[in-house]
Amino acid sequence: MTNLPTEVLRSRSQLTEPTSIAILDKTQFCLVATTFTNELILTSYVSDGAIKNTSSLDSETNAPLLLLHGFDSSLLEFRRLLPLLATHRQTWAMDLFGFGMTERLQDVSISTDAIKEHLYAFWQTTIARPIVLVGASMGGAAAIDFALTYPQIVQKLILIGSAGMRSGTTMGRFLIYPLDRVATNFLRSPKVRREVSLKAYADPSFVTNDAEICASLHLSMPRWSEALISFTKSGGYGSYAEQLKDLQPPTLILWGDRDRILGTKDATKFHDMLPTSKLVWIENSGHVPHLERPMATAQEIFMFLE
């Protein structure tokens, strides 16, 4: 299915960058079945790039890439990186359960376990072969969680400015009405979102009108606020520091040398704790090197995959 939600179509006409328009126009939807709800979940994703050697689908040289976005974001954050990766390999990006343009179901809680099960069900429905899993920020924590549970699926792991090193806050568990609504209304504020964007980039000139639309387009989706509240109350992603020694896939850690969202200390901690990891600093980049330095990011990924 390729029809974009009405809520999203209203914003599409305001986009100006070719990569933004292209990834939105390539967005598709599939129905995903899970055990935590009887309803099928309409899940948004993009797939681009061809399999170059169909005779060895499971070999490392053909494993497709699957990209996972960050907190309160969507697959649109890979609008500049995905086309570059797709020139070499089949590349997928999907919206995690509770985020992006993926359907948020009424009375279904958003938790890390639900996100992982939905991710597995999506993989089983669409890809169904070993992958290279790429996670940015919160998506990195989701990728770590998935790789620990399904090591047979993840051939290699790529973490971009990844969460998952620090313990989550317990404050969200005690958010009660109307404070929960106050919190999401605050996060919905264009001024607040712009301030976050300015902090995410090393170069503030990247915070364009097009970038702000891409970063907030999913806010118009039904039950955005309820899903964010549910995820926050669940506690979200915490620290995987103690489990990193058990992480089997070779791992590439990419980190902006001017990251002001997570800082830079976690990068070396990941590198020290992951037994088969390589750390690469993306110069002159903030928290989102895949948006700020997509060519450099793609080049490091290509070298890692060789």
Tokens standing for residue 34: 């899970």
Distance, in Å, from the CA atom of 190 to the CA atom of 65, rounded to the nearest integer, reads 32
What is the mean pLDDT of the segment spanning 121-132?
A: 98
Topology given in CATH for the domain delimited by 6-305: Rossmann fold (3.40.50)
Q: Residue 184's pLDDT is what?
A: 80
pTM: 0.94
Give the burial class of 55: count Cβ atoms within 10 A of its Cβ; 0-12 exposed, 13-18 middle, 19 or more buried: exposed
Beta bridge partners of 159: 135, 253
User: Hey, which bits of the chain come out as E strands?
Assistant: 28-32, 41-48, 65-68, 91-94, 131-136, 154-160, 251-256, 277-282
DSSP letter at 15? -
Q: Residue 57's pLDDT is what?
A: 52
What is the mean pLDDT of the segment spanning 52-59?
A: 54
Q: Residue 4's pLDDT is what?
A: 85
Structure confidence by residue, pLDDT tens digits, 17-31: 999 999 999 999 999
Distance, in Å, from the CA atom of 89 to the CA atom of 52, rounded to the nearest integer, reads 7
Candidates 178, 113, 175, 109; CA nearest to 148 is 113
Structure confidence by residue, pLDDT tens digits, 234-264: 999 999 999 999 999 999 999 999 999 999 9
What is the mean pLDDT of the segment spanning 260-287?
A: 97
pLDDT for 55 beyond 80: no
Q: Residue 187's pLDDT is what?
A: 82
Look at 83-92, 231-240, 294-303 and tell me which has the smallest mean pLDDT: 231-240
pLDDT for 53 beyond 60: no
What is the mean pLDDT of the segment spanning 106-131?
A: 98
pLDDT for 58 beyond 70: no
Q: Residue 212's pLDDT is what?
A: 97
Beta bridge partners of 43: 30
